[in-house]
Amino acid sequence: MKFSLPHILLLFMLLTLSAPGDVSSATNREQEIRELVTSFIIARSSGMNWTLHINRISINRHLKMPEGKMDYEIIAPQQWEGWGKTNLTVIIRQNDRVIRNISVTVDVEAKTDMVVALHQIEYGDLLTEADVVVQEYLLSPGSRLAARSLSDVVGKKARTTLKANQPVRSDQVERVPLIKAGQMVTIIAENEVLKVAVSGKARSAGAEGDTISVQNLTSLKEIPARVISATTVQVAF
């Protein structure tokens, strides 16, 4: 059967008019999935005290699917913490039958409070409240160990040079030793009824509360002891 140009145009118009339901369905499904992914990301970081910003949600496939209710399952890589770039898998089911399995690329920024150096701090310097501030900072793999409060760093010594405007990590500072290796100390042992004190020599350095090795100068034995002041350590009795 032959068709004239008017017949072909009419047929094309009829086909076009019959398509909006599918196009509308595809558009609705994409928006639906975007909203579900957004909710998933927010839930993933719930309770983490982060400020989130979703930079991108990219769906790499067309979402033309049947009409009706869909059930969605979102799967994230086990190591993903809710921020950074990753690919999520969205499984779409209808009446317990898998309709589509799609990949969604997300890029999420997260900020949280960290201790940040106000200026460059040199190796060996003691940190004071004038050196650091708590402010929101972008999470990154390098900020996992970032200190979260001033008490985590103030009064401690820098173990390396700390750069200005960068988070201070907990492994970049250390408590100031009260006792140095080789120093003479008083070793005390006491209970409810008795207290004994002898002279000793520190074999390692330690801050208050640290357990160090000391030598009892009477018995010449080395024993573990807890630092309680700049001149005194305590052993279990």
Q: For the chain, give every residue range classified as CATH 3.90.1210.
A: 118-174
pLDDT in tens, 121-164: 999 999 999 999 999 999 998 888 999 999 999 999 999 999 99
CA dist list (Å): 185 to 181, 190, 207, 232: 10, 16, 14, 5
C-alpha span between 55 and 26 (Å, rounded): 23
Instruction: Answer left, alpha or beta for residue 209, where phi above 0 means left and psi between -120 and 50 means alpha.
Output: left
**Is the CB of residue 88 less than 8 Å from the CB of residue 72?**
no
Mean pLDDT, to the nearest integer, of 15-44? 68
| pLDDT score for 31 | 86
* Longest distance between any two alpha carbons in the chain, whole Å: 117
Q: For the chain, give every residue range classified as CATH 2.30.30.
A: 184-234
C-alpha span between 122 and 128 (Å, rounded): 13
Q: For the chain, give every residue range classified as CATH 3.10.129.
A: 5-110
pLDDT in tens, 46-103: 888 899 999 999 987 667 778 888 899 999 999 898 999 999 999 999 999 998 889 9
pLDDT in tens, 171-184: 999 998 999 999 99
Structure tokens at 33: 């999935």
CATH architecture of 118-174: Alpha-Beta Complex (3.90)
CATH architecture of 184-234: Roll (2.30)
Q: Which CATH class is domain 5-110?
A: alpha beta
pLDDT in tens, 198-207: 999 999 999 8
C-alpha span between 126 and 75 (Å, rounded): 46
